[in-house]
Amino acid sequence: MSADEVIGVEGLRKAYGGGPAVDGIDLHVARGEVFALLGPNGAGKSTTVEILEGFRSRDAGSVRVLGADPARAGRAWRARIGIVWQDQVEASPLSAAALLRHFAGYFPDPMDPEEALELVGLSGEAARSARAMSGGQRRRLDVALGIVGRPELLFLDEPTTGFDPASRRRFWEMVRGLAGQGTTVLLTTHYLDEAEALADRVSVIVGGRIAATGDTATLGGRRTAEATVSWTDGAERRSVRTGAPTRTVAGLADRFGGEVPGLTVHRPTLEEVYLSLIGESSGTGLPGAPAEVPA
């Protein structure tokens, strides 16, 4: 394990009664990285994360988180990680500041409640009880509770569910800010735009195994995948899939003597790559996907 490695997982396996939930996963996350786990429902993301958090046992594999095995790590280790729980503060009658102060007591060098509230965009709400907050505000308070201890490693599980679009963007900025200060973030999300906005690298987990790991720009051969060039020819819409779209467009420009009617050039989106990796789609121009339209 390199000095810079915050999470190192090799050959991780976990089965429940119904069969393997995690079936041989390797993960390596460096300090300051934002790393996202993507995958369909039941893929094994939560099981993996709970093992990394030390809340679930494993059947096989080696796991190091902040230099320790989470299955055996103690309180000092736990104080270095932050976890954002789903709906942690649902019914609390305590004020946001009181809740944060209480949580802060578990950590050696916590933030002031005001600092944590400011970071999640709740600065005016210190005196308000969680019970009196909107769903989205409560979710942000959950995040504030997860970061109040200044964690070196932050686990975010579906963090922006229920956020309005502006709050999501503010939240993303906050996570980028934390990562910029050296906090490592392990994120699970079903939102591909969130992964694209936040993650330095992602792993797509399918059926307890990693289908692909990489940055969002190149995942699953995205950058090298063929592009689809489409245009209008008389009354007909034409398309061609090509590895050299610039040459195709230049040829079309020659042919049309300038502007190509209805020209579009499409490369696979992260969503298309993801759907293809989980076996839900074809015709994306990705390696192995059948061509939609013959050249």
Ligand X SMILES: Nc1ncnc2c1ncn2[C@@H]1O[C@H](COP(=O)(O)OP(=O)(O)OP(=O)(O)O)[C@@H](O)[C@H]1O
Residues in touch with ligand X (CB under 6 A): 16-18, 21, 39, 41-47
Nearest distance from C-beta of residue 16 to ligand X, angstroms: 3
Residue type, 31: R
By C-beta, is 41 or 181 nearer to ligand X?
Answer: 41
By C-beta, is 45 or 168 nearer to ligand X?
Answer: 45
Nearest distance from C-beta of residue 71 to ligand X, angstroms: 17
Nearest distance from C-beta of residue 73 to ligand X, angstroms: 21
By C-beta, is 20 or 245 nearer to ligand X?
Answer: 20
Crossing angle (nearest 10°) for helices 165-180 and 135-147: 10
Measure CA of the first residue to CA of the last residue in the chain; give whole Å. Answer: 48
CA distance 58 to 209: 15
Nearest distance from C-beta of residue 284 to ligand X, angstroms: 22
CA distance 186 to 254: 49
By C-beta, is 17 or 108 nearer to ligand X?
Answer: 17
